[in-house]
Each structure stands twice: as C-alpha cells, then as structure tokens.
Amino acid sequence: MKGEFTAVIEVAEEGGYWACCPEVPGANGQGESISAAKANLAAAIQLILEDRLEDSLGGLPGDAIRETVAIG
C-alpha cells in the first residue's frame, strides 16, 4: 500500500519529537530525531490502514469484485 500523507511534527516537552497524521486519526509516532518520528509515524499509518482494510474486507461476500484505484 503506497501513498503520501501529511506529517505534523512538534518538539516533545520530554525531548525528541512527536508526529501525527491528520488524514489518519490515531496515527502518531515519536522519536529522538525528526526522521525517527517520521519513520515511526509511517509504521503506525501502515498498521492502521492494513487493519482497517482487513476489517472492511472481512464482511464482503465471496463473489465481490476487488480492484485497485489510484488517486492523483
């Protein structure tokens, strides 16, 4: 699953950085550096989207057509 998302990054009071993604509620990450916070955020986004996809597909009938659609 590929895509681009917004990372909002802030300095954490306890040190390091905190990042969240407004497009994916609940997705956040933290790290000692900006790149570490972004990497942890990316991992959280991927896990959340994979979980949502699995939940959504679980209730579909066996003869449902599944295709990919790209956005711009």
Beta-strand pair 28-31/8-11: unpaired
What is the extent of the structural domain holding 29? 8-57
Q: Which residue has the higher pLDDT, 41 or 1?
A: 41
17 has a pLDDT exceeding 70 = yes
Collapsing DSSP states into helix, strand and coil, what is residue 15? coil
Q: Is residue 42 part of a domain?
A: yes
- 26, 30, 49, 70 from 1: Cα distances, Å: 18, 22, 9, 11
In a domain, 2, yes or no: no
Q: Would 72 be classed as within a structural domain? A: no
- In a domain, residue 3? The reply is no
**46 in a structural domain:** yes
Percentage of the chain beyond pLDDT 70 is 97
- What total of structural domains would you count in the chain? 1
**Residue 23 placed within a domain:** yes
